[in-house]
């Protein structure tokens, strides 16, 4: 007999309202507070379908988060208790 696959609940994507495009700024690794909003509570970089960033700025935010992690401005993982 065939087994039914479990249904996966899909999250609705957020509309693309890139704050960097509207304010004509670029993400910077020194803005750790701003970059924390693009990292999940588990320490993973959130995708552009959840953040609402455009493709160009999502790539730049990813690079800047990695730079901030290397310089110890952001943690690599979360503090799990």
57 within some domain: yes
Report the CATH number that the domain containing residue 38 is assigned in CATH: 4.10.640.10
35 within some domain: yes
14 within some domain: no
Two tokens, residue 70:
């290397």
Per the structure, how many domains does the chain have? 1
User: What pLDDT was estimated at residue 46?
Assistant: 95
56 lies in which domain range?
27-70
Two tokens, residue 47:
């995708």
Q: Which pTM value belongs to this model?
A: 0.80
Query: What does the pLDDT profile of the chain (81 residues) look like in tens digits?
Result: 678 888 777 777 777 789 999 999 999 999 999 999 999 988 999 999 899 999 999 999 999 999 999 999 999 887 766
15 within some domain: no
Beta bridge partners of 23: none
Which is it for the CA torsion 36, 24, 62, 72, positive or negative? negative
């Amino acid at each position: 007999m065939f087994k039914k696959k479990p249904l996966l609940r899909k999250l609705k994507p957020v509309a693309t309202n890139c704050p960097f495009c509207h304010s004509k700024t670029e993400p910077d690794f020194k803005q750790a507070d701003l970059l924390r909003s693009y990292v999940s509570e588990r320490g993973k970089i959130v995708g552009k379908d959840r953040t609402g960033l455009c493709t160009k700025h999502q790539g730049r935010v990813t690079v800047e988060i990695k730079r901030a992690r290397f310089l110890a401005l952001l943690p690599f993982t979360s503090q799990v208790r």
